[in-house]
Amino acid sequence: MQYRALGRTGWQVSEVSFGAWAIGGAWGDVRDDESMDALHRALDCGVNFIDTADVYGDGRSERLLARLKRERSEPIVIATKAGRRLSPHTADGYNARNLTGFVEDSLRNLATDCLDLVQLHCPPTDVYYRPEVFGALDDLAAAGKIRYYGVSVERVEEALKAIEFPNVQTVQIIYNCFRQRPAELFFPEARRRGAGILARVPLASGMLTGKLTRDSKFAADDHRNFNLHGQAFDVGETFSGVDYPVALEAVEEMRRLLPAGVPMAALALRWILMEDAISCAIPGGKRPSQVAENCAAADLPPLDEKTMAAIRAIYDAKIHPLVHQRW
């Protein structure tokens, strides 16, 4: 494992870290014992940073992480999120009272008295035009309830606006072989301001592992079934917003680029790590074998220019017209 600075926090985080959405819910059936094995394997591989949210399985993901901390002695940085409990999910809901309540719930679930990092959970765009929201987070930090805060965004423009607030330490954004626009405007600006970047959905919901086919089936409670057309939340969170058949075609082209013995998941993650503005990728993993394969990406040599150009050409031809200007 290799480690990178997480913005200005002073933390050095594993460049392949762990996304803990699937072990909470919305990805079909998961068993807590297998999820715990996956988490332990992540730590064995050198992972020291885990991304979760209060709403992943209504606290289930956070509680598994509390258990992990009891079972292991290594320092682990846990980033959680707040805001998605709001119903309706409005900018007005992002007020001091609600944020304090969400933070208190996460403190209980994570069995701690100070959260390492709280991210606003893809709030409505208007939130980024309300300095009082960030003031409320400053107050929670001053009260010792949270150490640092950041944001998780849907769009590049939200990311650019968010980092104008000086205490936003991190931005979580979708970045992968099928979502390349963040590198154009946002990464240089984030680098300039010293903001950390978490690359989420790095495997395009499993598509970039190369294991999916036209016949793959997803359970009714898996978002790759119930959110395929954005019925429940932003469609960009499911397969990165790329039409399923087009994504399969692009993956077949990428398969030809694989060096011998390198799984496609590792290639996809190594591609993300080529960008030095990225602090870490946070692939989801349900099983120890997936986690080990993903972590191995950190030990691969850099991709050569030919491979980088070929991935860009696949993106330009097949993916860019569908998604580039949408997020």
Among the candidate windows 16-24, 31-39, 137-145, 300-308, which touches ligand NAP by CB under 6 A? 16-24
Rounded CA-CA distance 213/207 in Å is: 9
Please select the residue that binds ligand NAP; options are 25, 182, 206, 241, rule is CB under 6 A.
Answer: 206
- Is 172 a binding residue for ligand NAP by CB under 6 A? The answer is yes
* Structure-derived torsion over alpha carbons of residues 40, 45, 48, 49, reported in degrees to the nearest 10: -80
| Listed residue (16, 98, 116) closest to 62, CA to CA | 116
Please select the residue that binds ligand NAP; options are 7, 9, 14, 19, rule is CB under 6 A.
Answer: 19
Please select the residue that binds ligand NAP; options are 117, 286, 295, 303, rule is CB under 6 A.
Answer: 286
- Is 45 a binding residue for ligand NAP by CB under 6 A? The answer is no
- Is 14 a binding residue for ligand NAP by CB under 6 A? The answer is no
Number of residues in contact with ligand NAP, rule: CB under 6 A? 30
Active site residue 148: no
- Sites for ligand NAP among residues 183-202 (CB under 6 A): 200-202
Asked if residues 28 and 221 have their Cβ atoms less than 8 Å apart, the reply is: yes
Least distance to ligand NAP from the beta carbon of 131, Å? 22
Give the phi and the psi of residue 176 in degrees, each rounded to 5: -165, 180
- Is 236 a binding residue for ligand NAP by CB under 6 A? The answer is no
Asked if residues 123 and 234 have their Cβ atoms less than 8 Å apart, the reply is: no
Give me the residues that bind ligand NAP (CB under 6 A), please.
19-22, 27, 51, 81, 121-122, 152, 172, 200-206, 209, 211, 237, 265, 282-286, 290, 293-294
